[in-house]
Structure 1
Amino acid sequence: MALYEIAGESLKPVAQKTFTELGLLERANIQRAVRTHIAAITPGVKTMVLAEEFGDWVGANRRIDLLCLDEKAQLVVVELKREDAAHMELQALRYAAMISTMRFDQAVEAHRKYLLSIGSTVDAEQAIREFLEQEEGPVALSETVRIVLAASDFPQELTTTVLWLNKQGLDLRCVQMRPHEIDGRVLVDIQQVIPLPAAEQYQVAVREKTMEQAAAARAQERDMTRYDLSIGDATLTNLPKRRLIYEIVAEAIRRGVSVNSIADAVPWRGKIFISADGDLNEQEFEVALGGEMPRYYTADNDLFQIGGRTYAFAKQWGAQTLDAISNIINLIPNADTISYPPTTAVADEVTRSGYVIRQRENGAIEVEHQGSPVQPAMPILRHLAQELNVSLLNGNGNELNTRQLGAQVIGAIRAL
């Protein structure tokens, strides 16, 4: 489509140029301009640049112009051509196949190298997590790889191929970049030509529905089991696995197990503790380490002060969490007092004075306040028992434990 300038009561065509005529190079000019404003060729899809000239694979000497990531954790292959776009879709498909198995840690490493190359000191993993709005936990990149082809023009055989591939379920987009020179300035008219904007919403909706179904299936396969941890008479209920392992590590340290022994018990995990000199609080600890450490438990009550040093334990754990827990428990003296059965379904739940008191089918009692668990639960249960005139003692004059008192409090609230 031609570009016109309004001149009085007429339209004056602005002659289209080529990047070659304007002396603009593919990598040094076009690619670097696009990488700083990737949204120009990815309209409607939040996208970040992971790497430039990416080629970290064995047996190939070609490189992806720009390797990107979109908001749905899908890798995006961006190929740019200054003029001739022939066969670029075939090249991009090869690249997409090569990176389709990329793991999150590999993406972090690729982004780290890219940031280093442009002189940035930003933490690569944190930048990706902030972009994906997933500050904690494991990140799984989508198996779907998107492709964006950007050039000044596309031959018919390429557009026919792209349309057919999109019909097969792939996501390829063709973005036309046509330069114009006006008063010594270079203006680039950027238009997405495949899929056409008028049809894109429908096509994307169909594709997103398929992706959501696949994502839902993957979510059902993930182990989201929670656990009730009992240590002697104390019980912590409904713990996710990463909190479960923290509490078990805390108990191991209380019973004299060294941090080195704990780290040695899970050699596959890597750095599970970070530390600094002194008995530090959260703020002092973060200052000592140069900033916040979102992947570690650094709250005041979660830090460990041992032998003149302060330690924080890792938050991020994957599929081998239960194996790690088993290995750590083997280090703990008198570990037979520790158990962590899976949390069972809710048998009863009541609310009193802003607190939610919940009893699981296995008898475990949970207390929540404003959506956050209250641990230990016993002080609140005692307070509620006094409000409800519920005795803290059983028929033999012995104090009720958490499960017994919780059941009595729930019963009294039900009676009201």
Structure 2
Amino acid sequence: MPLFHYTTDRLQPVAETTFGAEGILERQDLQRLLREQIDALGERLLVIAEEFGDWADSARRIDLLCLDTDANLVVVELKRTEDGGHMELQALRYAAMVSTMRFDQLVDTHAKYLNRLAAGPAPDTDAARAAILGFLNWTEVNQSQFAQDVRIVLASANFGRELTTAVMWLNERNLDIRCVRLKPYRLNAETVLLDVQQIIPLPEAAEFQTRIDVKKQAERQDRSDRKVLRAQFWEALLDLARPRSQAHAGRSATTDGWLSGKIGRTGFDLNYVVRRHDAQVELWIGFGTGKSELNRKAFDALKAQQAAIEADFGAPLDWQELPESEGCRIRCVLPDGGYQSPAEQWPQIHERMVAAMIRLETAMRARVAKLVL
């Protein structure tokens, strides 16, 4: 968006410029000024150190290491370039490196920083500790609240699409990375203006975005929990099924909602299926992409024997031709029990599923083998 100089009779556009054109340097100018006025980035921070690199086997240094009012560490990376380069990758490395910092190390780091600024004879850890506690409004150290997270602030003249895409993707996965644009404008021969805007996440949408992120995080956790439950469910079922049937003897537990087995002929699978609150056993007919006519021919040949098959199975079956799918299904749904049932009910659910699968295999195996297609 353009910047205008407001006068009583007109809006005068202010010319954009660059840090390079103005001779503004990254470290000597931008970093120095932000160090002295860190609130310009849009939040209250305490600068703990400048050019921090107190770790082994690395010459890398954090431009500004800060602390926020929630006692989280904040890595601030600065660039005067128009695309931000690869600063998000640098900042992620730095965040990982400082994530294990203890409070006493923070105090020691801040003491060295204050000593360097004041050109004192020796670091004063008592003064540094008092400054940190005062900033946090703590009367004493609260170790359980210190550095629960490491946040990242990226400040640059602009950001490339690759960088912003990466930052938004990382934020969706519960990181906290902010992009602050530092845009210089030339007002007149004597004056350069600096427009400081947080562009990711947009401040106006921060609360809404937080709600979305919480929802997405809950959904991801729910998907993860479901996968763990299904894997445990299948493992216990296979322990019961393997000694009683060869159809799934070579299978291992998965995190999927189904578990396929063989009936002795290509194009036919005996599948266990489990959902949250019910399960099923099925014969799946699927010869592959573009083989819908062959699928239907096999399905029709078996359906012609429906009465005899259901008599052997011992109950009615659900015959699904599924014309819009890549296969056909013959199934028996077993209600009142899925992977989200209490674990103490799983043995009964597994027993019903295995017994139904054995009956389905008995009713289908010989007939599938004799089909002429």
Instruction: Sort the TM-score into its range (normalised by shorter chain).
Output: 0.5 to 0.7
Give the aligned residue type for 1:54: F
| 2:20 match: secondary structure | coil
Residue 352 of structure 1: aligned partner: none
Distance (whole Å) between structure 1 residues aligned to residue 24 and residue 200 of structure 2: 25
Tell me which moved more, 2-11 or 183-192: 2-11
Distance (whole Å) between structure 1 residues aligned to residue 36 and residue 213 of structure 2: 28
Residue 37 of structure 2: aligned partner: 37
Residue 52 of structure 1: aligned partner: 50
Distance (whole Å) between structure 2 residues aligned to residue 143 and residue 71 of structure 1: 12
* 2:151 aligned to which of 146, 151, 163: 146
Residue 74 of structure 1: aligned partner: 72
Unaligned segments of structure 1, at least 5 residues: 211-416
Distance (whole Å) between structure 2 residues aligned to residue 206 and residue 75 of structure 1: 24
Distance (whole Å) between structure 2 residues aligned to residue 46 and residue 119 of structure 1: 22
Q: CA deviation at 1:153?
A: 0.4
Q: How does 1:220-369 map to 2 (within 5 A)?
A: none
Q: Structure 1, residues 337-363: CA drift from partner, whole Å, max 9, x if none?
A: xxxxxxxxxxxxxxxxxxxxxxxxxxx
Q: Is the 8 A contact 1:181 1:187 kept in 2?
A: yes
Residue 140 of structure 2: aligned partner: 136
Distance (whole Å) between structure 1 residues aligned to residue 67 and residue 29 of structure 2: 22
| 1:21 match: secondary structure | helix
Structure 1 residues 113 and 137, CA, compared in 2 at 3 Å: closer, same or farther? closer
Residue 292 of structure 2: aligned partner: none
| 2:71 match: secondary structure | coil
Residue 12 of structure 2: aligned partner: 12
Structure 1 residues 137 and 53, CA, compared in 2 at 3 Å: closer, same or farther? closer
Q: Structure 1, residues 248-273: CA drift from partner, whole Å, max 9, x if none?
A: xxxxxxxxxxxxxxxxxxxxxxxxxx
Q: CA deviation at 1:181?
A: 2.1
Q: Structure 1, residues 32-58: CA drift from partner, whole Å, max 9, x if none?
A: 1111111111x2x42110000000001
Find out whether 1:174 has 2:207 as its counterpart. Answer: no
Distance (whole Å) between structure 2 residues aligned to residue 99 and residue 12 of structure 1: 46
Give the aligned residue type for 1:12: Q
| 1:60 match: secondary structure | coil
Find out whether 1:98 has 2:102 as its counterpart. Answer: no
Q: CA deviation at 1:106?
A: 0.6
Residue 124 of structure 1: aligned partner: 128
Distance (whole Å) between structure 1 residues aligned to residue 212 and residue 98 of structure 2: 24
Find out whether 1:165 has 2:165 as its counterpart. Answer: no
Distance (whole Å) between structure 1 residues aligned to residue 215 and residue 60 of structure 2: 34
What is the TM-score with the length of structure 1 in the denominator? 0.48
Q: Is the 8 A contact 1:126 1:135 kept in 2?
A: no
Identity of aligned residues (%): 51
Q: Is the 8 A contact 1:75 1:146 kept in 2?
A: yes
| 2:57 match: secondary structure | coil
| 1:83 match: secondary structure | coil
Q: CA deviation at 1:120?
A: 7.2
Structure 1 residues 113 and 205, CA, compared in 2 at 3 Å: closer, same or farther? farther
Distance (whole Å) between structure 1 residues aligned to residue 22 and residue 116 of structure 2: 27
Distance (whole Å) between structure 2 residues aligned to residue 125 and residue 209 of structure 1: 38
| 1:12 match: secondary structure | strand
Give the aligned residue type for 1:195: P
Count of matched residue positions in the alignment of Structure 1 and Structure 2:
209
Q: CA deviation at 1:10?
A: 2.9
Q: CA deviation at 1:13?
A: 1.2
Distance (whole Å) between structure 1 residues aligned to residue 191 and residue 114 of structure 2: 30
What is the TM-score with the length of structure 2 in the denominator? 0.53
Distance (whole Å) between structure 1 residues aligned to residue 132 and residue 8 of structure 2: 50
Q: CA deviation at 1:83?
A: 1.3
Q: CA deviation at 1:201?
A: 2.0
Residue 371 of structure 2: aligned partner: none
Q: CA deviation at 1:7?
A: 4.5
Distance (whole Å) between structure 1 residues aligned to residue 141 and residue 81 of structure 2: 44
Residue 114 of structure 1: aligned partner: 113
Q: Is the 8 A contact 1:75 1:142 kept in 2?
A: yes
Q: CA deviation at 1:202?
A: 2.6
Give the aligned residue type for 1:29: D
Distance (whole Å) between structure 2 residues aligned to residue 176 and residue 22 of structure 1: 17
Distance (whole Å) between structure 2 residues aligned to residue 51 and residue 205 of structure 1: 33
CA RMSD, Structure 1 to Structure 2 (Å): 2.3
Q: Is the 8 A contact 1:5 1:11 kept in 2?
A: yes
| 1:90 match: secondary structure | helix
Return the structure number with greater helix share: 2
| 2:196 match: secondary structure | strand
Q: Is the 8 A contact 1:151 1:177 kept in 2?
A: yes
Structure 1 residues 132 and 204, CA, compared in 2 at 3 Å: closer, same or farther? farther
| 2:21 match: secondary structure | coil
Q: CA deviation at 1:198?
A: 2.0
Residue 344 of structure 2: aligned partner: none
